[in-house]
Amino acid sequence: MVKGIMDPIPTLVDSGSSKNFLDINFAQNNKIPLIPLVNPRTVIAIDGKELPNKIKNKATLEVEIEGWTFDITFFVMDLGDTDMILGLDWLQEADPDINWKTLEISWKGRPITAKAGKDLPTIPEEFMEFIDVFSEELFKKLPEHRSFDCNIDFVEGSDLPKPAKVYPLSPIESRTIKEFIDQELADGKIRPSKSPIASPCFFVKKKDGSLRLVTDYRKINNITIPDQFPMPLQVELVDQVKNAKIYSKLDLRWGFNNIRIKEGDEWKTAFRTAYGIYEYLVMPFGLKNAPAVLQRMMNDIFRHLLGVTVVVYMDDILIFSEKEEDHAEHVKEVLKILRENNLYAKLSKCEFFVKKVIFLGLVITPEGISMEEEKIKALMEWGAPRKIQEVQAFLGFVNFYRRFIAEFSKIARPLHDLTKKDTKFEWTQECQQAFEETKKRVSQDPVLIHPNPDKPFILETDASGIAIGAILSQRGEDGYLHPVAYLSKSYNDAQRNYDTANKELLAIVESLKHWRIYLEGTILPVTVFTDHRNLERWKNAETFNRRHARWHMELASFNFEIHYRPGKMSNKPDALSRRHDHEDIPNPQQIMINAERFKGFKANIEIDIISMIRESLSDDESLTTLIESTKKKEDLPPSIRKQYDKYEWKEDLLWYEGRIVIPENKEIRLAILEMHHDNPVAGHQGQARTLELISRRYYWPAMKQQVNRFVETCEICQRSKGHKQYAPQKPLPIPQKPWEDIAYDFIVKLPESQGMDSILVVIDRFSRQAHFIPCLESTNAEGVADLFIKEIWKLHGLPKTTVSDRGPTFNSQFLKALYAKLGINPKFSTAFHPETDGITERTNQWLEGFLRSFCNYRQDDWVRWLPIAEFCHNNQVNSATGKTAFEQSMDYTPDGIL
């Protein structure tokens, strides 16, 4: 069904059609408004031939399918007997279930972007004369030069950035960037450039799966003189609408692109691609001064209406009226100004004639403006504690603000009493009242203060295994740090699988975006505190994976600095990220190990180390002579050639003793360190083992010192690794070959994981190869025999001797059951050593440290980590043998990290 047309419309769903199409005769007969295309489109038929007639119009219709409502854009042309075609555009957006046997389309409970029963925005009849103001096609026209063009002035005496290198792209990305360039050239928004400072560009994936081109203007922004035009204050804007009774809200289409780059400054916006260098004629996303330039333009064109019927924050326009009968005229006046200035609104984000509107994150109604609810939501939704530890966590959080609350001790006394030694936990009505009153006091003045844009903001963030927490603060008149707002937010399914570093970074990104109205474009930098040291370097990283590139783009307009602060000093955001009421969110069932944590096994990793090394070799002047001499060493005299015997040039890389030489590049070396230490396959090993793992493939001068510093400062290692001293053990006879002498033991009383609560650890005393087998603590000797046959015997056969910390009785029962199951005559029994040599104890401690490093906060996903732990253990060089367990038992070491 199409809105405004009574009868259902026969529609062809065609996955072979890249776009949606509407028949021209059908459109004319039903008086459907057509929007002319600025650039007519060519149609290619299925046989590859170009059709003679080009598409000159399009139309946007509200279409209802199976109870779901879609706002669909159609290209209009002659379709013959077909009225409507839904192509790949719609299929990708709606993602329906298709039954290929019955050829039926449905959505069996699957969530999609459209919402059932919810009408999409339409233009009210009163404003149909301004339909052109909502045109996507007209927006594509190049705006004219105006007095508020964007100029890019560099700091006097600053050095221009070096030209960026072209990032390698996948075939899909190459096609997409070619389409982008062709379309932007056709629309006149970019042009070819000879700029000497072209910035790098790459793609990030949007939420809908499509690709967005990102230009990294950091080096340009670093030498750009900041535009000091003041951004409007939130409190001043909302104060101007306090007497209004009705509202409408407009959102400009691609606000920044409505402004031209000042003539002569276009070369400073240049970006480099495999298809050439291009520069923007319109203001792109990512420039330092873009928010201020856009705000200046909006203030200028709406000057006579500001504070009267309009408030504007960048590309958000709020129209308000004290009398409902005047509102239509007020909206028309704004639409007229937009038309006169060739500015276009995005209909899907507009609202008309509403009594409640969200503007700058605030809920505005005729009854008043509510801003406190969101600011204190994280605190007020804190669920009642269920045990003493949760009471202690809550008190630890509110104690930071006790100095601001009169009679705090009296109010919170029932809670403090619960934490006394030998006190039975009993949550009474008195405790609940104290809990609610304490939350209320912490969320009011004088604790919570209003933001002051003239003072610096402090942002404290933390991420736990279940949620992120953050507190935004400023110093009050009393000199103390007061909270402005709180944030606590649980992860979605994808975020729950991020590793620790990405969760900590997510906390920063989400907090800045959440408090955008306070923190975007601040003159004074926002100080961000995190307990993850490596994030201090994130803003200035040379390269990003796709997720980080998207985050960096989203934060381009924020002025912030990341500082490390140890976790023990971050109790406030810690408490918000560890609220127990976030724990009830179940983890999704997964069959495979999460890709983020398993990335060491991927050949096509997001950070392409080899490509980065190739590109950076020419930047390291210390390697120039070495590379040139290595390339032509065969032509050198023997006395000189000898100096380069250990070097080789192949695959466009410099090799030293069979290892790739790494140029002087902090980002590449850091990526290699993280890959060979933080990666689960590497396993957070110590200094010597991390160095050995890296040295198998890479080389650079002073590598040992850098590895040692990196491992020493690893917070996960400091938290996870034990320092237990072992008692001297009696030496056992030295085995002569793999798997003829084994040791086995159990790690017990673990949190239940996939129905298991213990680990059977079996070790070959000759090679030190180990197998880690999940089991139950209640498993008896017969059950252990079953596990042994299933996991050990099938691979290695029967051992000659066994060692176990469980003692001779259990071992005897185990062997007896094993022989019975295998049909072996007991007289050929395996010998048992009553002593142990400590090998399983050391291995157990190593395994416990590994699991602490990588398991979730509940420590209940350890079963899925055992295969990775086993590979990591068997892949490390043993100090006694000088070889890996793989080498000792199989004569080779398989690749784990590429």
Rounded CA gap, 223 and 160, in Å? 8
Residues 6 or more apart whose CB falls under 8 angstroms from that of 46 comprise 16
Long-range contacts of 478-484 (CB under 8 A, 24+ apart): 480/403, 480/404, 482/404, 482/446, 482/447, 482/448, 482/449, 483/401, 483/447, 483/448, 483/449, 484/375, 484/448, 484/449, 484/450, 484/451, 484/457, 484/515, 484/518
Task: Choose among 652, 668, 680: nearest CA to 607.
Answer: 668
Only one residue has tokens 């990708």, namely 92
Q: State phi, psi for 676 to the nearest 5 degrees.
A: -100, 5
Task: Choose among 408, 395, 488, 393: nearest CA to 447.
Answer: 408
Task: Choose among 773, 782, 833: nearest CA to 804.
Answer: 833
Q: Is 14 a catalytic residue?
A: yes
Rounded CA gap, 395 and 418, in Å? 11
Bond prior to 446 in cis (omega within 30° of 0): yes
- What are the residues facing 310 on neighbouring strands? 306, 319
Alpha helix (H) residue ranges in 341-428: 372-380, 388-398, 408-411, 413-418
State the helix-helix crossing angle for 429-442 and 372-380, rounded to 10 degrees: 140
Instruction: Transcribe 479-538 into DSSP letters.
Output: SSEEEEEEEEEE--TTGGG--HHHHHHHHHHHHHHHTHHHHBT-SSPEEEEES-GGGGGG
Task: Choose among 153, 145, 184: nearest CA to 268.
Answer: 153
Token readout for 462 is 């933390």
Q: Are 782 and 808 in contact (CB under 8 A)?
A: no
Token readout for 754 is 């996939």
Q: Are 152 and 265 in contact (CB under 8 A)?
A: yes
| DSSP summary character for residue 775 | E
Q: Which amino acid is at 346?
A: K
Token readout for 208 is 């809908």
State the helix-helix crossing angle for 666-677 and 703-712, rounded to 10 degrees: 60
Token readout for 479 is 């000199």
Rounded CA gap, 114 and 483, in Å? 38
Rounded CA gap, 545 and 612, in Å? 12
* Buried b / exposed e along 161-170 (16+ C-beta atoms within 10 A): beebbbbebe
Rounded CA gap, 808 and 360, in Å? 72
| DSSP summary character for residue 105 | E
Rounded CA gap, 309 and 107, in Å? 44
| DSSP summary character for residue 404 | G
Q: Are 875 and 890 in contact (CB under 8 A)?
A: no
Q: State phi, psi for 222 to the nearest 5 degrees.
A: -65, -25
Rounded CA gap, 447 and 718, in Å? 35
Q: Which amino acid is at 365?
A: T
Only one residue has tokens 């406190």, namely 372
The catalytically annotated residue of 7, 14, 23, 315 is: 14
Alpha carbon dihedral 576, 580, 586, 590, in 10-degree steps, equals 60
Q: Which amino acid is at 597?
A: R
Task: Choose among 494, 452, 491: nearest CA to 475.
Answer: 452
| DSSP summary character for residue 730 | -
Distance of CA 359 to the CA centre of its chain: 26
- Catalytically active residues are 14
